[in-house]
Amino acid sequence: MGTNVATPYDNPGDISTDERTPVIVGVGQSSERLDDPDYRRRSPVELAADAARAALADTGADPAAVAAAVDTVAGTRQFENSMPGARAPLGRSDNFPRSVAGRVGADPRRAVLEVAGGQSPQHLVNEFAATIAAGGAEAVLLVGAEAISTIERFARQAGELDFSEHADGDLEDRGFGLRGLVSMHHAAHGLTDAPSQYALVDNARRARLKLTRDEYAARIGALFAPFTRVAAANPHAAAPVERSAEELVKPTASNRPIADPYTRYVVAREKVNQGAAVLLTSVAAARRLGIPPARWVYLAGHADLRERDLMDRADLAAGPASAMAARHALEQAGIDAGDLATIDLYSCFPAPVFTVADALGLEPDDPRGLTVTGGLPFFGGAGNNYSMHAIAETVERIRRQPGSYGFVGANGGIMSKYSAGVYTTTPTPWRPDHSATLQAEIDSWPAPGEARQADGWATVETYTVKHARDGRRTGIVIGRLEDDGRRFLARTDDRDAATIELLSTDEPIGRRVYVRSFGFGNRVTADQATMDSLFPASPAVLRERYEHLLVRRDGHLLEVTINRPEARNSLHPMANDELDHVFDAYFADDDLWVAILTGAGDKAFSAGNDLVYSASGKPMWVPKNGFAGLTSRRSMPKPVIAAVNGFAMGGGCEIALACHLVVADETARFALSEVKVGLVAGAGGVVRLPRAVPPKLAHEMILTGRRLTAAEALAHGLVNRVAPAGEALAGARELAAEILESSPTSVRTSLRVMEETRGIPDVVDAVRHHSAALDDLMVSEDAIEGLTAFAEKRKPRWRNR
């Protein structure tokens, strides 16, 4: 497609009036390195403000007048504000956009802090160009910066630097934007860092191309070697060093492996001090401010698309949404890749560059180059703001070549969010893009089924091996189960050197492996024998002693006491695992017919999850059978009674809800209090409570954390009996004794039939439901003994068979 070819979007209805056409009128960059002679220890706000001043001056008009005209300022997030709980060791502004605006003499009516992600600078250009075209703004300043090098240097020097500041005015904080990008399931398998996630994509691509490890490494080196030459000539580059293709990929002491197939030199360099800014106005505002038309740059094409989440992608070697966004932006501009004078492909890792280059037919040795900055590993990965620098460089270059076109592709997440822009000095009317239509197509693509808990033989679909600084290695695998083809995520066990070696040599993709699920996640081994040796089956027999529990056996009755009164009987992973083992043993022991669960002391049955332990940063997990080994257990064939003494809060309430029967003393309080600490009752509370009490009451308890007294709980059917203060266990024993007078076979059969018919809405259909358990009961010794004892007018001697 040439520059004079009409596109499907060339119709008058798509074109805004000339006066509202958005143009970029100013760009600016700032930077400093720790070893610079004039190093000034600037904060992110100061670096961004310097870049904004440069952008205002770049307009060729009076900077003060231009600053006064800015009605909107939008900022990208810093790394220290891109994740929940992220630290800002030197402090930070509480309103980054307005802090920057105030320093350059702007007083905008609107301030925006964009979501995290490398797509954000280009997305902001696309969004606010559309806002200007619609008359919603006239002058928009986009800014961003990182000072990670300075922050890391001074983080341990208390009081040396303080970047904290307050800025008055409202802020439209759009949040982190991490939906679908961060999950507890990924974290449980070590998939929290960007190198590991991108490595999964690159290794899948290598296997698809049928390349060896060395061949693919050579291609990565050939891809990035030209980037280093650009970075070496860029005064703003954090690592302005030209390197050969071999040097980039050869592991050395200074170029250590990060995540197979990556060495340090080919991953984004986050230790930077860099800022960039872009100023957009309407044509009318540019004229009014006296900005020369020679400074105007038009957004000829643009697109914003989101890829399916990682585990939902049909092909882990591809990024079709990124490719579609790039192609759509070019189509909208009425050009093809051959018409571009400059190109910048987001290069945090090789995979995003390969993906878009393949889609546009670009080779690594393209004489135009695939970067205008030097790329994230060499110029620097200025957090979410890298592409603001790419846009600034692109604008400067195409101004020097009037009539030319430049392309910027900005990538966020794990090739998850892609924003593309085509820039030109050729006057171009504003045209809305058709990203929404393309996004609907992407969202309709089928996703592979996923096994969150994976068990059995499987095939490796892709993989990586993470390398820690201390030499430890961890393998991460995405595979497909042989039984049903579902996709799963798993990691290796730290003791399993053989599987690590399998993943580190030859071709693991397509290899047969064995996977098994645990409460702490899925583990993968080379074969079942290795799995069995690493994780030998624990016999379902009660131990003599437990660290966090007291266990008492009294005939057919089992009493289990959570023995952590100092923590209000809250549960951490070790206590949960012990409870899981105890209930496995209870359900497997034919001589145990009823179990009681209670808490030590008189303050709390259980305060739920141990929040102190959770906040410690130590690994968190619950057994596959759920909280206390009960809340996710598929089968509870024998009665469990909760003896609630004191508070049953959060997870403690969920445990009680999972039990068949509840006896509470009159001091007991029941609550799902998770919303009070920013959590949710995810261990069954939000599911079971609306089925246990009137829905309106359940909604109130779940949404407000309202506490129910024991009397209220009894009135609403949440508990069976209320005992005097301190007598919950005694009351539970009385209830257990009544159950023990009945046939254990009949009790188990009754529980089974209730469970089988729970999901049958029609009562008659439920009554007519045939259960094999009833047939088994009628020929059981207990049935014969019960009828015989009744006829003989004596007490039955139950045999439990």
Which residues are annotated as catalytic?
A: 654, 674
Residue with tokens 């890298």: 386
Q: Encoding tokens for residue 11?
A: 């119709």
Q: Is the CB of residue 347 less than 8 Å from the CB of residue 231?
A: no
Q: What is the DSSP letter of 76?
A: P
Residues 6+ apart with CB under 8 A from 84: 176
Strand 456-467 to 417-424 pairing: unpaired
DSSP SS3 for 27: strand
Q: Positive or negative, the Cα torsion across 216, 218, 220, 223?
A: negative
As beta bridge partners, residue 647 has 604, 669
Distance between CA atoms of residues 61 and 577, nearest Å: 69
Q: Is the CB of residue 685 less than 8 Å from the CB of residue 745?
A: no
Q: Is the CB of residue 23 less than 8 Å from the CB of residue 278?
A: no
Q: Encoding tokens for residue 631?
A: 């809340």
Which residue blocks in 34-90 are alpha helix, DSSP H?
Answer: 44-58, 63-69
* Crossing angle of helices 781-792 and 744-757, rounded to 10°: 120
Distance between CA atoms of residues 666 and 573, nearest Å: 30
C-beta contacts of 245-248 below 8 A and 24+ residues apart: 245/218, 245/221, 246/221, 247/221, 248/220, 248/221, 248/224
Q: Is the CB of residue 153 less than 8 Å from the CB of residue 35?
A: no
* Crossing angle of helices 350-360 and 213-232, rounded to 10°: 90
Residue with tokens 């009752």: 681
As beta bridge partners, residue 113 has 75, 173
Strand 669-671 to 708-709 pairing: antiparallel
Q: Is the CB of residue 621 less than 8 Å from the CB of residue 573?
A: yes
Q: Positive or negative, the Cα torsion across 705, 710, 712, 717?
A: positive
Between the alpha carbon of residue 627 and those of residues 520, 578, 755, the distances in Å are: 13, 11, 20
DSSP 15-37: ---GGG-EEEEEEEEEE--TT-T
Distance between CA atoms of residues 133 and 490, nearest Å: 48
